[in-house]
């Protein structure tokens, strides 16, 4: 039974009334109707949650206790995944096949990945006469976006629990209901009070207070580069560590000799996944000039197969944009791209359904790499196709944005794909259709972020390093400083 009108926040192990009376309405983007609400928290709510997290912080927590907490949360979360998937479809407009798949099964795989990392991680290491310790970083403020509401929370809260770090979490305003259901699972798991706290609310109030709070030790934020810059600015006032996973404008580079048909099919699917609302989407497809016409035919045919419709219809492949504001943003990008001279292959900015924030899957050809569409993140089902002359030209275009989050390379053999990928300035690349790995580090170069998520690297973000210099036997002493 879903509860979509949330009255309370989760602080210090209890569901408690917020400090204020304001609420945030949650809109179903497929119907444009209000389906629920969450509290619009206050700065005092953040202060209470941070204080609870500070009381819960035990820097000497045992690894056995961390494993137990993590296992209990994963078990409780897994039982609720069908309900969470339904909620994500309602609040985000994610088609059921996406909600029941990537929106919930990938977070489960990521959670299990952190359990695997914790099982084998060495928290102490001897280096010559030093004992190197890896200790919990402290209180974590986690601020998450709306596009993958469960995944984004799991990628922050689960490694924090594994590291021994209490968390204060702020979900997005557009898709917070599934996060409340996850926190109910956390409550059911029976963690000590204060280990996980939930405060919903506006970024301007709740998010900013979390980022600037002097008793927060680490801020982990996922969202736009502009907001990430603001988070870093506020955290710097207290010299607080930040981990930022920000925007992307990733290139899908099809080298001459690569499997064009497969590269197009996979590339279009990647660009349109989750209605294009994916930070790591391959939104620029780079095609050699001598195969450009062939590629455009394949791209148009592939895009035409992406059915737009009711998210609860199993045949639907693309649901609505997540909100009215995102809908307007995407349509604005499409209209400006046409004015800038890009050639519309399929789709467009016209409203395609009377109700709902639906954008047609859209492909532009002849996109100038330096234009707005070639440079900026759209966060909608919009693909830019760009021809290139030779491999050096492809590399220049691939690296020619402020972002560096993800991408792909297709070549006639893996050696050539690897050689090209080594020169691409981005944090993650799929080569010749390489599959997703929840244990591999994920994060960006340049303005796509700071730090890494997932696997061992993502776990280590939540750990401090301490060196204990031990006495050296007299016969082994060396002079280090003169």
**Tokens describing residue 67:** 């494993």
Instruction: Name the strand (E) or helix (H) holding 181.
Output: helix 177-189
Write out the two tokens for 111: 């959670």
Burial of 371 (0-12, 13-18, 19+ CB in 10 A): middle
Nearest by Cα to 32 from 272, 320, 359: 320
Using a 10 angstrom Cβ sphere, with 0-12 exposed, 13-18 middle and 19 or more buried, the burial of residue 79 is exposed
| Strand order, beta sheet including 343-346 | 343-346, 362-365, 382-388, 284-288, 251-254, 407-410, 430-431
Residues acting as catalytic residues: 245, 279
Task: Give the residue ranges of DSSP H helices in 93-139.
Answer: 96-99, 102-120
Contact call for residues 470 and 130 (beta carbons, < 8 A): yes
DSSP state of 30: T
b/e per residue 348-357 (b: at least 16 CB within 10 A): ebeeeeeebb
Q: Which residues are 364's β-sheet partners?
A: 344, 384
What would the DSSP string read from start to end of 199-263?
Answer: ----IIIIIHHHHH-TT--EEEEES-HHHHHHHHHHHHTTT-EEEEE-----EEEE-TTS-HHHH
How many Cα atoms occupy the beta-carbon half-sphere of 140 within 13 Å?
30
Q: How many CB atoms lie within 10 A of CB 431?
A: 16
């Amino acid at each position: 039974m879903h509860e979509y009108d949330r009255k309370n926040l989760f602080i210090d192990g209890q569901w408690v009334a917020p400090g204020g009376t304001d609420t945030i309405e949650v809109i179903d983007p497929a119907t444009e109707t209000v389906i629920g609400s969450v509290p619009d928290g206050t700065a005092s709510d953040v202060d209470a949650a941070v204080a609870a997290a500070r009381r819960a912080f035990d820097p000497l927590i045992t690894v056995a206790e961390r494993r137990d907490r993590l296992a209990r949360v994963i078990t409780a979360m897994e039982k609720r995944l069908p309900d969470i998937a339904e909620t994500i479809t309602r609040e985000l407009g994610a088609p059921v096949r996406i909600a029941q798949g990537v929106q919930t099964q990938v977070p489960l795989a990521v959670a299990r990945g952190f359990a695997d990392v914790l099982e084998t991680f060495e928290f102490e290491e001897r280096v010559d006469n030093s004992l190197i310790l890896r200790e919990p970083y402290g209180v974590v403020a986690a601020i998450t976006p709306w596009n993958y509401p469960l995944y984004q929370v799991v990628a922050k809260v689960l490694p924090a629990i594994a590291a021994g770090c209490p968390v204060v979490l702020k979900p997005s305003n557009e898709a917070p209901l599934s996060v409340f259901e996850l926190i109910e699972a956390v409550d059911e798991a029976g963690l000590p009070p204060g280990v996980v706290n939930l405060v919903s609310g506006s970024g301007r109030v709740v998010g900013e207070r979390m980022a600037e709070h002097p008793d927060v030790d680490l801020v982990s934020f996922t969202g736009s580069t502009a907001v990430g810059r603001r988070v870093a600015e506020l955290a710097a006032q207290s010299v607080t560590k930040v981990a930022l996973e920000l925007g992307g404008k990733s290139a899908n580079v099809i080298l001459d000799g690569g499997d064009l048909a497969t590269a197009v099919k996979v590339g279009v699917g990647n660009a349109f996944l989750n209605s294009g609302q994916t930070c790591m989407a391959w939104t620029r497809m780079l095609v050699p000039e001598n195969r450009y016409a062939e590629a455009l035919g394949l791209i148009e045919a592939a895009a035409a197969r992406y059915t737009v419709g009711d998210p609860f219809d199993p045949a639907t492949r693309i649901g609505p944009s997540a909100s009215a504001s995102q809908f307007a943003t995407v349509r604005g990008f499409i209209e400006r791209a046409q004015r800038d001279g890009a050639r519309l292959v399929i789709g467009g900015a016209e409203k395609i359904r009377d109700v709902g924030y639906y954008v047609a899957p859209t492909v532009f050809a002849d996109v100038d790499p330096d234009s707005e569409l070639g440079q900026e993140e759209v966060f909608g089902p919009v693909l830019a196709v760009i021809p290139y002359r030779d491999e050096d030209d492809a590399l220049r275009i691939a690296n020619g944005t402020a972002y560096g989050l993800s991408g792909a390379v297709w070549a006639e053999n893996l050696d050539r794909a690897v050689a090209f990928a080594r020169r691409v300035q981005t944090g993650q690349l799929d080569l010749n259709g390489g599959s997703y790995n929840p244990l591999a580090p994920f994060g960006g170069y340049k303005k796509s972020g700071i730090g890494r998520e997932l696997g061992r690297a993502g776990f280590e973000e939540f750990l401090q390093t301490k060196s204990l210099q031990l006495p050296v036997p007299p016969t082994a002493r060396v002079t280090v400083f003169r």
